[in-house]
Amino acid sequence: MQEHFNEEIENLKTSLIKMATLVDEQVERVITALETGDAQLCKGIKAKDREIDIYDNLIQTQCENILALFQPVAIDLRFVLSALMTNNQLERCGDIAVNIAQRVKKTNDMQSLIKESHILEMGQQAKLMLKEAIDAFINNDIQMAKKVVDSDEIVDNLNKQIFNFLVEKMKADNALIEPCSHLIVLIRNIERLADHACNIARNIVFYVEAKIIKHQARLNRQTE
């Protein structure tokens, strides 16, 4: 029984790693496309996202089977729950990569504005966070996971800073309203990417330490 259970858990882990690798590659490609303005790199992003969706369904089924057949408890239960949540976050990251790809196509002639606004820096940071969150998941690396959670502030600050910069640009020049609007949507997507990376990292903390650290900052602020 235990052997069968371990096998199911290993299969689930393998599916998650494969899915995470796909998502990581998608994000890598769209961020590179954003940096180089090479929209050609975004070709095939949508088709690849379908593979991610297939993994999403597979992982959900694997989790459902484990819960129904083995009724795991304690650390095993936390693994399955965090797998379900991570699956959800990864699937959303895949969708965001598709969204970013669409924006890259619309903004590839705005390289100077992109460079000037620090969007590339934000993209790099979000990409790094996702990579580290995935690594932390693969290695059960709680320190790395906590580092990812802490890094969210960097992206949030960049988001505010770039948003203000783009608003100022639009105020100064009506002709920039449309391109800046695309870029605002773009940074919103990058910010969500970082949020999902954070949530994946929080799932690892939940799995390893049995602690729920979601919404912690906000809840702490409310009790103060």
Partner 1 sequence: MQQEKNIKIDIRHVNIFARDVKILKDLNFEVNSNQILGIIGPAGSGKTTFLRSLNRMNELETGWRIDGQILLDGKDIYDSELDVNSLRKRVGIVFALPVALPMSIYENIVYGLRLSGVSDKKRLDEIVEKSLSAAFLWDEVKDRLSLSGLRLSGGQQQRLCLARVLAMEPDVILLDEPCSGLDPISTTWIEDALTELKKKYTIILVTNNTMQAARVADMTAFFLMGELIEIGLTKQIFTAPVKKETSDYITGRFG
Dihedral sign of CA atoms 82, 85, 91, 93 in order: negative
> Minimal distance in Å, beta carbon 201 to partner 1?
19
Q: Between residues 79 and 165, which has the closer beta carbon with respect to partner 1? A: 79
Q: How far is 31 from 93, CA to CA, in rounded Å?
A: 13
Q: From residue 217, give the alpha-carbon distance in Å to each of 21, 149, 211, 214, 220.
A: 30, 11, 14, 8, 5
Residue owning tokens 């320190």: 143
Q: How far is 69 from 72, CA to CA, in rounded Å?
A: 9
Footprint on this chain of partner 1 (rule: CB under 8 A): 1-2, 5, 71-78, 210
Q: Between residues 51 and 76, which has the closer beta carbon with respect to partner 1? A: 76
Q: Between residues 10 and 173, which has the closer beta carbon with respect to partner 1? A: 10
Q: From residue 175, give the alpha-carbon distance in Å to each of 37, 42, 106, 184.
A: 20, 27, 15, 15
Q: Between residues 39 and 77, which has the closer beta carbon with respect to partner 1? A: 77
Q: Between residues 28 and 76, which has the closer beta carbon with respect to partner 1? A: 76
Q: Between residues 30 and 66, which has the closer beta carbon with respect to partner 1? A: 66
Q: Which amino acid is at 154?
A: I
> Minimal distance in Å, beta carbon 214 to partner 1?
16
> Minimal distance in Å, beta carbon 105 to partner 1?
47
Q: Which residues contact 71 (CB under 8 A, 6 or more apart)?
A: none
> Minimal distance in Å, beta carbon 13 to partner 1?
16
> Minimal distance in Å, beta carbon 204 to partner 1?
15
Number of H helices, E strands in the chain: 8, 0
> Minimal distance in Å, beta carbon 91 to partner 1?
26
